[in-house]
A and B are shown apart, each in its own frame.
Chain A
Amino acid sequence: PALGLFLFTIARDPLRIIILIAGAFFWLVSLLLSSLIWFIAVKASDPQDESLQKGLLIFGVMFSVLLQEAFRFLYYKLLRKAIEGLVALSEDGCSPISIQQMAYVAGVGFGLMSGAFSMINLLADALGPGTVGIHGDSQLYFLTSAFMTMVLIFLHTFWGILFFHGCEHRRWWEITAVVVMHLAVSGSTFCNPLYVGSLVPSYLLMAAAAAWAYSLSGGSTQNLRRFFLCKF
């Protein structure tokens, strides 16, 4: 689905592609930094202790989430400056791309990158022979991974919109809500492989975020109804 999003909405406009790639880049940098921190922590601690390792991992995840949000903020700042430049340089005085579109694209960028990193090795392995969960792990590994990744990508997109909107209108509570949601989603994955605990809340949160983002972007129930009834 994310790929579909990409193809339909972003691929046509080159500026959006650039914003997308830049967004992916920012996410990557944040990942890099967080894994650096984690790596240092691991090296500095005892490799034998299982629960400590797990605890460190959890710490790493939380830290990474915070870093991601920080980078999203940085990216927002960059895009703000960019949009000023674009406005000044365009012919008719208005920017070729609005801040909401940028928010959307940035969100997709983040999401795609995070999804890609989560999934791609999995996919590559999935091409090979083997049975899922042969050692007693859950057999739904691939399936749940796929769903989780998809929900994460969507979430990133929505978070992007919400986040930028919050920054635009200086509503700090919106921003903190995004961060909290992100933490919550990541945290819920900690109770894997008890999939109920992670997938269901994530989807609920995603639905909530979607509705919120939709309303922020100017949609309304009326629009929705018209959309579904295919009237324009």
Chain B
Amino acid sequence: MTELSAHLPQFQHGQLTENFPDNHLSNTNDNSERRRHDNSERRRNDNPESETNGQPQSNTQQVVEQDEEEDEELTLKYGAKHVIMLFVPVTLCMVVVVATIKSVSFYTRKDGQLIYTPFTEETETVGQRALNSILNAAIMISVIIVMTILLVVLYKYRCYKVIHGWLIISSLLLLFFFSFIYLGEVFKTYNVAMDYITVALMIWNFGVVGMICIHWKGPLRLQQAYLIMISALMALVFIKYLPEWTAWLILAVISVYDLVAVLCPKGPLRMLVETAQERNETLFPALIYSSTMIWLVNMAEEDPEAQRKASKNSTYHKQAPANQTQNEDAEADDGGFSQEWQQQRDNRIGPIESTPESRAAVQALPSNSQTSEDPEERGVKLGLGDFIFYSVLVGKASATASGDWNTTLACFVAILIGLCLTLLLLAIFKKALPALPISITFGLVFYFATDNLVQPFMDQLAFHQFYI
């Protein structure tokens, strides 16, 4: 199949991939309207508006462009909707994390550190602390890089079974072990008496349903809820076990790494995308949050509607390179990863930013449908790693900020705006883009600024009851 479609799909690939992410990207937010406007203006002048979806025309180029046009219009229409579809889960995740941090003190107690961050931060001098945290961050990042490269290698050599197994183990760990701890802590906080049998039953049910939902089929809402829950759990673990400065450093470094890994031609993530593209396979679904039922579409135009109907009822699949993640930390890496790669893969599906979480391995559904997809079916995808890091940022802000709720709120708004901008850029560039950098940068800037600058100001204002 690769042979045959060598020429055509390549060409169409290029075109289509560019456009479809556009569709799914809902960055038609006013903020970005300007650029989008220019972009679309140009294209508009090329083609007249048309209602039909991808009808075969004499000229493939024309088809592509026309699809482009329609997609753009549709994107616009559903654009804002898609952004909201991403806003809601991110918000929910952050709310869960903040609520937990505020109420359950377990997650703010220092009970030790992960083995990935061996240097402690309780040192005598500031300089030593800084050094330690830098070393910690370096270790963590190198672990992540190694994991990513391992994943790419596995994918390249088609060791799908290994990846699947990895994925399943990590999701097992998360679903059972961490939620057990979480539940235990919540009970302790609220002084609720509970016996082991009930707990065992609850955890077992929760875990099994979670495994089924994420790795196989399940109602969309339930799957989304599970993904949000595990992201929150993961974020809580990070918040608990990473010391102060290390955490901030890691956040900063990981967004840089994300940027580099996705955009550099030699970056592992990029290689992964290209490999996946060459094989014309669907991407690994793992660790992505999807907002709607989507059909996977391969760019190729093979069998039209047969798959279409079939895929309608399934959930997103793609064999996503389920990265590592048996260990808590490894989760981080895939952040920006799939965005690009999945981007190119699922033209139809919209930008996916998969995360190295390890669940959500929905089997790949090789649906190849024509362009005539129902626009509503297209959703947006965001990687779970992104969820996790956003929540880590907001959680840390609420846990350790002197400005408390102000800082939390500021970080929250900053992250949402970052997400908007990222989606916008995604639509403009039509390549996979890392989701982390912009939002995390905004979040960090706002956190430090609000904590140090705004807080004293607001305190004084509130004290005198002045209002601005």
Contact of A121 among B81, B404, B446, B464 (CB under 8 A): B404
Question: Does B11 sit at the interface, judged by CB under 8 A?
Answer: no
Encode A52-63 as 1/0 by CB contact (under 8 A) with B. 011001101100
Query: Once the chains are docked, how many angstroms separate the CA of A124 from the CA of B401?
Result: 14
B34 in contact with A81 (CB, 8 Å): yes
Determine the distance from Cα of A58 to Cα of B468 in the docked complex, in whole angstroms. 10
Tell me if A83 and B468 are in contact (CB < 8 A): no
B413 and A113 contacting across the interface, CB-CB below 8 Å: yes
Let me know if B467 and A152 touch, CB within 8 A.
yes
Q: Are B40 and A82 in contact (CB under 8 A)?
A: no
Q: Check A89–B450 contact: CB distance below 8 A.
A: no
Interface digits, A144-183 against B, CB 8 Å rule (1 contact, 0 not)? 1100110010000000000000000000000000000000
| B404 and chain A: residue at smallest CB distance | A121
Q: For the complex, is B416 an interface residue (Cβ under 8 Å from A)?
A: yes
Within 8 A of A (CB), among B41-56: 41, 44, 49
Q: Is A49 an interface residue (CB 8 A)?
A: no
Which residues in window 74-115 of A have CB below 8 A to B? 78-79, 81-86, 88-91, 96, 102, 113-114
Closest Cβ of chain B to A14, distance in Å, is 4
In the complex where A18-B30, A121-B404 touch, is A61 in contact with B73 (Cβ < 8 A)?
no
The closest CB in chain A to the CB of B468 belongs to A64
A3-34 CB mask vs B (1 if < 8 Å, else 0) is: 00000000001110111011011001001101
Let me know if B416 and A121 touch, CB within 8 A. no
In the complex, the chain B residue whose C-beta lies closest to that of A63 is B468
Give the size range of A's interface with the partner: 35 or more
Question: Which of B58-66, B146-154, B190-198, B451-459 is near enough to bind chain A?
Answer: B451-459
Q: Which of B33, B36, B83 has the most CB of A within 10 A?
A: B33
A25 near B417 (CB under 8 angstroms)? yes
Please determine whether A28 and B410 come into contact, CB atoms closer than 8 angstroms: yes
Interchain nearest-CB distance for A112 vs B (Å): 10
A84 and B33 within 8 A (CB): yes
- Check if B413 sits within 8 Å of A186, measured CB to CB: no
A36 within 8 A of B: yes
A25 close to B414 (CB less than 8 A)? yes
Contact code string A36-69 (vs B, CB < 8 Å = 1, else 0)? 1011001000000000011001101100110010
Give the complex CA separation of A52 and B91 in angstroms.
42
Give residues of chain B (435-468) contacting chain A, Cβ–Cβ below 8 Å. 446, 449-450, 452-454, 456-458, 460-462, 464-468
Q: Is the interface of B mostly helix, strand, loop or mixed?
A: helix
Contact A85 B465 (CB under 8 A): no
Within 8 Å by CB of B37, from A19, A60, A81, lies: A81
Known: A18-B83, A81-B34, A120-B406. A54 touches B40 (CB 8 A): no
Nearest Cβ distance between residue B82 and chain A, in whole angstroms? 8
Binary A-proximity of B72-88 (CB < 8 A = 1, otherwise 0) = 11001100110110010
With A22-B30, A22-B31, A78-B31 known as contacts, the answer to whether A89 contacts B466 (CB < 8 A) is: no
Known: A19-B30, A25-B413, A117-B409. Is A84-B466 also a contact (CB below 8 A)? Answer: no
Contact of A186 among B28, B31, B458, B466 (CB under 8 A): B466
Residues B405 and A120 in contact, CB atoms below 8 Å apart:
yes
Question: Is A22 a contact partner of B417 (Cβ separation < 8 A)?
Answer: yes
Q: Are B468 and A186 in contact (CB under 8 A)?
A: yes
Residues of B within 8 A of A25 (CB): 413-414, 416-417
Find out whether the CB atom of A57 lies under 8 angstroms from the CB atom of B461.
Answer: yes
- State the CA gap A192–B466 with chains docked (Å): 7
A residues in contact with B72, CB < 8 Å: 89
- Bound complex: CA A122 to CA B459 (Å): 10
28 contacts between A and B (CB under 8 A): A14-B84, A19-B30, A22-B29, A22-B30, A22-B420, A28-B413, A35-B453, A35-B454, A35-B458, A61-B461, A81-B34, A82-B29, A82-B31, A82-B32, A84-B37, A85-B34, A89-B37, A91-B77, A96-B77, A116-B409, A120-B405, A121-B406, A121-B458, A124-B405, A144-B465, A189-B466, A190-B466, A192-B465
Residues of A within 8 A of B (CB): 13-15, 17-19, 21-22, 24-25, 28, 31-32, 34-36, 38-39, 42, 53-54, 57-58, 60-61, 64-65, 68, 78-79, 81-86, 88-91, 96, 102, 113-114, 116-118, 120-122, 124, 141, 144-145, 148-149, 152, 185-186, 189-190, 192-193
Interface of B toward A, CB cutoff 8 Å: 28-34, 36-37, 40-41, 44, 49, 72-73, 76-77, 80-81, 83-84, 87, 404-406, 409-410, 413-414, 416-417, 420, 446, 449-450, 452-454, 456-458, 460-462, 464-468
Given contacts A19-B29, A57-B460, A82-B30, 7 further A-B contacts (CB under 8 A): A14-B80, A17-B84, A24-B413, A88-B40, A91-B77, A120-B405, A121-B462
